[in-house]
């Protein structure tokens, strides 16, 4: 583990230690691509974006702006991680993470994604194979932070980095923490390399780090205690089974909130659940059946399965659908979560990155020519 002191006041040996995290060829590659660019790093507060900070630091590169989007549904551990990383960044003398939130009108009956779903009696759009939950609650507010907003509840002037880019005819490059796992590779290949406002780069893929490499780099550079939990809304439809067990063990109150949201969405006025197709009501199936018949219809937060049914069948909840909180139950939940977790691989993970661009035709992801200024820590 290396002391995370800033390059400015750290001894040369300290810098050498940092450089061992990233071999010389990878360092050269990152610097060739990023040196001189105006850089906004989208921090998702998970393993990948934390490793992205480590990789940049090891390469002697410092982003101009770091943003994190809080949907209001982040787990407490994730918010705590943002705080701890900010303490680290202060010691590095880097820009601190700016937390971006979507701001709603006073007349809007919700202020976060959970409230949005609750008010509309629906699930996050990912449950229906769409991405508007992340576009609306993550991407848009980070873009607004940079570009500014002329009017409305989120009104704010453009960020100095945006003004600088506009004045100099330059483009800001957004760094996204996609790693070399299957899902992230697939996502980056179907994602545009640029849009009207920003270029997008995936530095972890440039240096060939997969999720295991990211975990190793964080542990080596910052200590194992700085490897974060998976960052996502506690009611994210992309949650894997082990994450549900983990949530039951650590945050039974949040799991109950998610179960209530699912119940409201599947039994409420906008429910697409068809009793005729299934031969029984959603609630009856959740209470009595072991599973839903095979279907392409979204039947719950798990898309093909309902979290409520999963919780009942697995003894996670009692007959009132309250999550069991006794010590023995929590120990069991934890043990199952640990046994099921797959070492952090994200091969099947389809949830959003912090501020990934919209998908579209690939514009090619060759390193962009380095045409502008640098923030070069090696030169400090």
The DSSP-derived string for 104-125 is --TTSS-SSHHHHHHHHT---G
- Interface with ligand SF4 in residues 279-318 (CB under 6 A): none
Binding mask 129-168 for ligand SF4 (x = CB under 6 A): ----xx--xx------------------------------
- 367: which DSSP letter? P
Cα(296)–Cα(291) distance, integer angstroms: 14
Q: Which residue lies nearer to ligand SF4 by CB, 205 or 231?
A: 231
The phi and psi torsions of 30 (rounded to 5 degrees) equal: -60, -45
Q: Which stretch binds ligand SF4 (CB under 6 A): 77-85, 94-102, 126-134, 240-248?
A: 126-134
Q: Which residue lies nearer to ligand SF4 by CB, 134 or 308?
A: 134
Q: Which residue lies nearer to ligand SF4 by CB, 29 or 138?
A: 138
Q: How many Cα atoms within 13 Å fall on the side-chain side of residue 36?
A: 11
* Burial category of 168 from C-beta neighbours within 10 Å (exposed 0-12, middle 13-18, buried 19 and up): exposed
Q: Which of 27, 49, 71, 188 binds ligand SF4 (CB under 6 A)?
A: 71
- Interface with ligand SF4 in residues 215-234 (CB under 6 A): 232-233
Cα(186)–Cα(348) distance, integer angstroms: 10
* Binding of ligand SF4 by 68 (CB under 6 A): no
Q: Which residue lies nearer to ligand SF4 by CB, 199 or 243?
A: 243
Q: Are 195 and 176 in contact (CB under 8 A)?
A: no
Cα(201)–Cα(72) distance, integer angstroms: 27
Q: How far is CA 174 from the centre of its chain?
A: 15
- Interface with ligand SF4 in residues 105-124 (CB under 6 A): 124
Q: In whole angstroms, how close is the CB of 45 to ligand SF4 at the nearest point?
A: 11
Sign of CA dihedral 36, 39, 43, 48: negative
Number of residues that bind ligand SF4 (CB under 6 A): 14
Sign of CA dihedral 52, 58, 63, 66: positive
Q: In whole angstroms, how close is the CB of 187 to ligand SF4 at the nearest point?
A: 12
Q: Which residue lies nearer to ligand SF4 by CB, 139 or 309?
A: 139
Binding mask 336-355 for ligand SF4 (x = CB under 6 A): ---------------xx---
- 361: which DSSP letter? S
Q: In whole angstroms, how close is the CB of 134 to ligand SF4 at the nearest point?
A: 4
Q: Which residue lies nearer to ligand SF4 by CB, 124 or 228?
A: 124
Q: Are 40 and 173 in contact (CB under 8 A)?
A: yes
Binding mask 234-273 for ligand SF4 (x = CB under 6 A): --x-x-----------------------------------
Q: In whole angstroms, how close is the CB of 119 to ligand SF4 at the nearest point?
A: 16
Q: Which residue lies nearer to ligand SF4 by CB, 38 or 261?
A: 261
The DSSP-derived string for 334-355 is HHHHHHH--TT--TT--SPPSS
| Rg of the chain over all Cα atoms, to the nearest angstrom | 22
Long-range contacts of 79-83 (CB under 8 A, 24+ apart): 79/45, 81/45, 81/50, 81/226, 81/228, 81/229, 81/231, 82/43, 82/45
Q: Which residue lies nearer to ligand SF4 by CB, 132 or 166?
A: 132
User: What is the chain's length?
Assistant: 380
Q: In whole angstroms, how close is the CB of 300 to ligand SF4 at the nearest point?
A: 14
CB atoms within 10 A of CB 261: 22
Q: Which residue lies nearer to ligand SF4 by CB, 161 or 299?
A: 299
> Which residues does residue 359 pair with via DSSP β-bridges, in sequence order?
191
Q: Which residue lies nearer to ligand SF4 by CB, 63 or 124?
A: 124
What lies within 8 Å, CB to CB, of 164 at 6+ separation is: 38, 170
Q: In whole angstroms, how close is the CB of 73 to ligand SF4 at the nearest point?
A: 6
Positions touching ligand SF4 (CB under 6 A) are 71, 73, 124, 126, 133-134, 137-138, 232-233, 236, 238, 351-352
């Amino acid at each position: 583990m290396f002391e995370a002191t800033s390059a400015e006041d750290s001894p040369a040996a300290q810098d050498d230690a940092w450089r061992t995290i990233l071999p010389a060829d990878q360092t050269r590659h990152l610097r060739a691509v990023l040196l001189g660019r105006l850089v906004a790093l989208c921090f998702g507060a998970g393993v990948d974006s934390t490793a992205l900070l480590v990789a940049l630091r090891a390469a002697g590169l410092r982003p101009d702006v770091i943003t994190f989007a809080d949907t209001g549904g982040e787990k407490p551990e994730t918010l705590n991680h943002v705080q701890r990383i900010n303490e680290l960044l202060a010691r590095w003398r880097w820009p601190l993470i700016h937390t971006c939130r979507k701001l709603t009108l006073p007349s809007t009956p919700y202020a976060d994604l959970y409230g949005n779903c609750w008010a509309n009696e629906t699930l996050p759009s990912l449950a229906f194979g769409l991405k508007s939950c992340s576009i609306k609650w993550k991407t848009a507010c980070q873009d607004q932070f940079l570009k500014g907003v002329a009017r409305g509840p989120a009104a704010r002037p453009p960020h100095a980095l945006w003004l600088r880019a506009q004045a100099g005819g330059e483009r800001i490059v957004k760094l996204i923490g996609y790693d070399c796992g299957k899902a992230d590779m697939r996502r980056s290949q179907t994602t545009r390399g640029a849009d009207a406002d920003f270029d997008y780069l995936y530095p972890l893929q440039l240096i060939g780090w997969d999720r295991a490499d990211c975990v190793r780099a964080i542990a080596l550079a910052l200590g194992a205690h700085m490897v974060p939990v998976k960052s996502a809304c506690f009611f994210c439809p992309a949650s894997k089974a082990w994450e549900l067990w983990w949530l039951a063990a650590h945050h039974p109150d949040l799991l109950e909130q998610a179960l209530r949201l699912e119940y409201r969405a599947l039994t409420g006025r906008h429910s697409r659940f068809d009793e005729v197709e299934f031969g029984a009501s959603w609630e009856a199936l959740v209470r009595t059946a072991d599973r839903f018949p095979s279907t392409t219809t979204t039947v719950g937060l798990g898309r093909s399965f309902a979290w409520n049914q999963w919780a009942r069948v697995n003894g996670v909840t009692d007959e009132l659908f309250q999550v069991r909180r006794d010590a023995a139950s929590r120990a069991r939940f934890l043990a199952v979560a640990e046994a099921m977790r797959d070492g952090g691989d994200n091969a099947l993970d389809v949830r959003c990155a912090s501020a990934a661009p919209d998908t579209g035709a690939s514009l090619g992801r060759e390193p962009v020519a380095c045409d502008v200024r640098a923030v070069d820590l090696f030169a400090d």
